[in-house]
Amino acid sequence: MNSTVSNNLLAGRRILVTGAARGLGFEFAVALAKAGAKVVMADILADLLASSVQRLQADGLDVFGVTVDLADQASIKQCADQSVAWLGALDGLVNNAAITNSGGKTAFELDPKVWDLVMNVNVRGTWLMTTACHEALKASGRGAVVNLASDTALWGAPNLLAYVASKGAVTAMTKSLAREFGPDNITVNAIAPGLTLVEATEYVPEHRHKLYHDQRALSREQVPADVSGAVVFALSDLSRFVTGQLLPVNGGFVMN
| pLDDT score, position 4 | 53
For the chain, give the percent of residues with pLDDT over 90.
86
| pLDDT score, position 5 | 56
pTM (2 d.p.): 0.95
Name the catalytic one among 127, 163, 212, 233: 163
Q: How far is CA 249 from CA 104, 234, 254, in A?
A: 24, 13, 9
Q: Residue 16 forms beta bridges with which residues?
A: 40, 93
Q: For residue 163, indicate whether it is catalytic.
A: yes
Q: Tell me the C-alpha distance between 132 and 113, whole Å.
A: 26
Q: Is the pLDDT confidence value at 200 over 80?
A: no
| CA dihedral sign, ordered 239, 150, 32, 127 | positive
Task: Please name each of the domains of the chain with its CATH number.
Answer: 14-194+224-245 (3.40.50.720)
Q: Tell me: the pLDDT tens digits for 11-68?
A: 999 999 999 999 999 999 999 999 999 999 999 999 999 999 999 999 999 999 999 9
| pLDDT score, position 81 | 98
| pLDDT score, position 6 | 56
